[in-house]
């Protein structure tokens, strides 16, 4: 796909998500429903599943748009194996990285903080959060984060190796 086609598709997704939100979809529904067809899911079913995730799960906690994004990640990453699921770790890894990017960009992942309820300082509007999550999800689905994930994996492996070496050094010191 060309860069122009990718941009056009992204613009259409953002436009659709904004139309959904204007129509009354909550933030989670607006994000997840835009990707339902790509995930091979029925849009009405995705709409129903995401209903309680809007408005920070009704408590102004985790941003609903992030919940919608996480749902799409789960639909993409899950192996659907009910007997021995093996894909949770990767789903968590992808979700963690995309949420980290959202927080870095917006200063919070908490609906109440994003909307400035207590501070009167809005960090990001609902429409802005929806747009950011559609952008992040679209980029992820198009493989634009693959190199970043490899970098994250390498850092995690280096951290684990350092921790193991420190533990071995401590054990050797205590053995003396």
Does residue 22 sit in the same domain as residue 100?
yes
The answer to whether residues 42 and 21 belong to one domain is yes
Same domain, 77 and 112: yes
The Cα–Cα gap between 10 and 35 comes to 11
84-140 pLDDT tens trace: 999 999 999 999 999 999 999 999 999 999 999 999 999 999 999 999 999 999 999
Say how many domains are in the chain. 2
Per-residue pLDDT band at 67 (split at 50, 70, 90): very high
Confidence of residue 148 (pLDDT cuts 50, 70, 90): low
Asked whether residue 174 falls in the same domain as residue 99, the answer is no
Burial class (CB in 10 A: 0-12, 13-18, 19+), 82: exposed
pLDDT digits (tens, 9 = 90+) for 18-54: 999 999 999 999 999 999 999 999 999 999 999 999 9
- Under 8 Å between Cβ of 60 and 113: no
pLDDT interval class at 146 (50, 70, 90): low
The reply to whether 36 and 82 lie within a common domain is yes
In terms of residue numbers, what domain contains 173?
A: 146-176
In a shared domain, residues 131 and 174: no
Give yes or no: residues 22 and 91 share one domain.
yes
Rg (CA), the chain: 19
Question: Coil, strand or helix: which one is 119?
Answer: coil
Both structure tokens of 110: 């908490």
Residues 91 and 104 in one domain: yes
Predicted pLDDT at 167: 86
The yes-or-no verdict on residue 73 having pLDDT over 90 is yes
pLDDT of residue 4: 75
101 with 174, same domain: the answer is no
In this predicted structure, what is the pLDDT of residue 17?
98
Are both 129 and 162 inside the same structural domain?
no
- In this model, does residue 55 exceed pLDDT 60? yes
For residues 167 and 117, state if they share a domain: no
Residues 80 and 50 in one domain: yes
Q: Which residue has the tokens 């436009």?
A: 15
């Amino acid at each position: 796909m060309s860069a122009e086609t990718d941009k056009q598709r992204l613009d259409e997704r953002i436009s659709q998500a904004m139309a959904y939100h204007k129509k009354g979809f909550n933030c989670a529904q607006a994000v997840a429903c835009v990707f339902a067809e790509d995930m091979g899911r029925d849009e009405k079913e995705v709409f129903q599943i995401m209903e309680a995730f809007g408005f920070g799960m009704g408590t102004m906690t985790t941003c609903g748009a992030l919940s919608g994004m996480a749902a799409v990640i789960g639909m993409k990453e899950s192996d659907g194996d009910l007997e021995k699921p093996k894909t949770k770790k990767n789903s968590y890894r992808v979700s963690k990285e995309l949420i980290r990017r959202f927080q870095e960009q917006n200063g919070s992942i908490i609906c109440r903080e994003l909307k400035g309820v207590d501070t009167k300082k809005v960090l990001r509007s609902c429409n802005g959060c929806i747009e950011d999550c559609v952008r992040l999800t679209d980029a992820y689905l198009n493989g634009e984060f693959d190199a970043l994930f490899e970098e994250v994996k390498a850092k995690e492996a280096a951290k684990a190796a350092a921790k193991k070496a420190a533990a071995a050094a401590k054990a050797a010191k205590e053995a003396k």
